[in-house]
Amino acid sequence: MEKAFVSGQQTRFSPPNRGLSLGWRLALSTVLIISLVMGGISIGQQLLELKEERQMHEELLKMSLVPLAVRLEAAINLETMEREVEEFHTAYSKKGYPVHEVVLLDAAKESVFSTGVSADGANNVGYLQTTIPIFSPLLNGGKGALVVLKDSEKYRNAVRRDWLLWGVHFTVTVGVVFLFLAAAIYFQVTKPVNRLVQGVKKMEMGYWRPIELTGGAWEIRWLAWRFGNMVLEVQSAMTHLFEAEQKARSLMPKCGDSPVMADQEQPLGSGDTVSDQTNSPAYCELLAVCEKLETTSPDDPQAIQLGRSVWRQEALEANRLGFHQIKARLEDAALHLMEPDTYRSLDDRISELKASWQEWSEQRSDDLCRLLEAKGIPYVEVLHRVKHTAGVWSKMQDKGLNLDEIHDLFAFRIIVPTEADCYAALGIIHQAFKPEVSRFKDYIAKPKGNSYRSLHTCVAADIGTVFEVQIRSVAMDRQAERGDAAHWLYKKGGHETDRNHVVTRWWRKLWLRAVEPLGHE
């Protein structure tokens, strides 16, 4: 959830309602899923086994009728048949099956005689029943069926016992699985999460220490490691911010004696930066290449390959050599060739924002000028810019951000005479606006690898808008605009080489690789 600011104060959000812990949620959810799957499979298997067992009982009962059926087919009259059936029934009852009935049916399913019950299925719910055909001229139609019904009470008791055993087995299995699962989740998830939560609570109370986890799931240990890095980053940012504020306070009296305004800028030797670049043959040649790329259609067969090549090599080299405007245009042209739909969509959104925030940007720039003048801070220039489309897209891809999370989409650059004035201006900016502590970078105390030096800070205006402010001295700005070499000679392989010669060779290589495959107009 994004942070909101009202009147320069951070709005606090209510914590979520406490519910079932993560460990219990995982254990119960997993056990429920396992129970449903395992229960469904085992119930189906149990029903199949009971069905097969019933069929086996009925088949055994049917086999017991075979001798009787043979004698009935050999009988010479119905009285003999009836006597055979009675003898069979009596013998069966004496052997321990008193609830046992036999029915003889003719071809029309009519009862010829029976030992007690009818063969109607509606009246024989509590019986196991089986049928065997017989053939005899004594029966109507010359054939019939011998039906035997046996009390199923013992079978039903056996079925109930089987289901009871299944229930006990299933319950014990689920219980054991739950115990082992709960133990595993406790050691892999719950315990590390609890330590992580305790570490976060300590952070909230001001005890900023890295959270060390030696056990648990990889994701939780990675999260603790990320929290530890965040602690170090915040501590470093706070240290740099404190040191910067100390410098600002110590330099404030010195900055109020002779303020230098934009129209009173002293000759500081920075005026040759733009002219040096635009007058150099390399700049003119790169500009021609850039214009050629901008007129290339994304439908060209070589468009994607060309865009990727320019993005990976030429744009980076242009930035290193100090051609920042050319670098931005090269990146935009490359992105337009690689991802034309994405480029157009993002460019339209940025253009809409730029149009709607143009007045705000100009007003904020005037506010910064008035603020510096009111506090007696000398400055040379206050600029504002909107980040170019490819730069926004690259940052969104690298950091997984949305467009409204890009804090330097609208940025202001304050150029002051000296390094001391940088810290003085920083102190004034932080007094007037709410600083984003995690977004403060002191590249003066700790320059980048390419020797870039500046103060970067993100602050929130009274309406909640977060924007970036860069503060540089004239010398820092000259160095940043000219690239990491900061002079027209830079070393390669231990020997100094004329920069124009190197850039010209680089341009020729670019032209051969980028322009020629596109065909001639």
Full pLDDT tens readout for the chain, 521 residues: 344 434 344 455 566 677 777 777 888 888 888 888 888 888 898 889 888 888 888 888 888 888 888 888 888 888 888 888 888 888 877 776 666 788 888 888 888 888 865 555 445 556 778 888 989 888 888 888 888 887 777 778 888 898 999 889 888 988 888 888 888 888 888 888 888 788 777 766 666 666 777 777 777 778 778 777 777 777 676 777 677 766 666 665 444 444 444 333 333 344 444 445 566 666 676 677 777 778 888 887 777 888 888 888 777 777 776 777 888 888 888 888 888 899 899 889 888 888 877 888 888 888 899 999 998 889 999 988 888 888 889 888 887 778 877 777 888 999 999 988 898 898 888 888 888 777 788 888 888 877 889 999 888 876 667 888 999 999 998 887 765 433 333 333 434 444 455 445 554 555 555 555 444 44
User: How many Å apart are CA 32 and CA 38, to the nearest integer?
Assistant: 10
Q: Write the CA distances from 123 to 172, 357, 373, integer angstroms.
A: 40, 89, 108
Distance of CA 488 to the CA centre of its chain: 47
Report field, pTM of the whole predicted structure over 0.85: no
Q: Are 283 and 277 in contact (CB under 8 A)?
A: yes
Burial tier of 494 (Cβ tally within 10 Å: 0-12, 13-18, 19+): exposed
pLDDT at 414: 94
CATH 3.30.1140 fits 65-151, yes or no: yes
Query: What pLDDT shows up at residue 154?
Result: 78
pLDDT at 324: 77
How far is Cα 452 from Cα 415, in angstroms, rounded to an integer? 14
Ramachandran category for residue 413: left, alpha or beta (phi over 0 → left; psi -120 to 50 → alpha): beta
The CA distance from 377 to 375, in Å, is: 6
- pLDDT given at position 27: 81
- The structure tokens 């406790």 sit at 186
Residue 271: φ, ψ to 5°: -75, -15
- Residue count of the chain: 521
C-alpha to C-alpha distance for 455 and 415, rounded to whole angstroms:
11
Rounded CA gap, 301 and 303, in Å?
6
- Please give the pLDDT value at position 273: 47
The amino acid that residue 501 corresponds to is H
Identify the bridge partners of residue 84 per DSSP, sorted by sequence position.
Answer: none
Across 248-267, b (16+ Cβ under 10 Å) vs e yields beebbeebeeebbeeeebee
User: What tokens were used for 517?
Assistant: 């495959």
Contacts 24+ apart (CB under 8 A), 290-297: 290/326, 290/329, 290/330, 290/333, 292/514, 292/515, 293/330, 293/333, 293/334, 293/337, 293/514, 294/329, 294/332, 294/333, 294/336, 296/333, 296/337, 296/518
Q: For the chain, which residues make up each domain, given as ranges?
A: 65-151, 274-338+492-521
| pLDDT score recorded for residue 164 | 92
What is the pLDDT at residue 417? 93
- H/E element, 411: strand 410-416
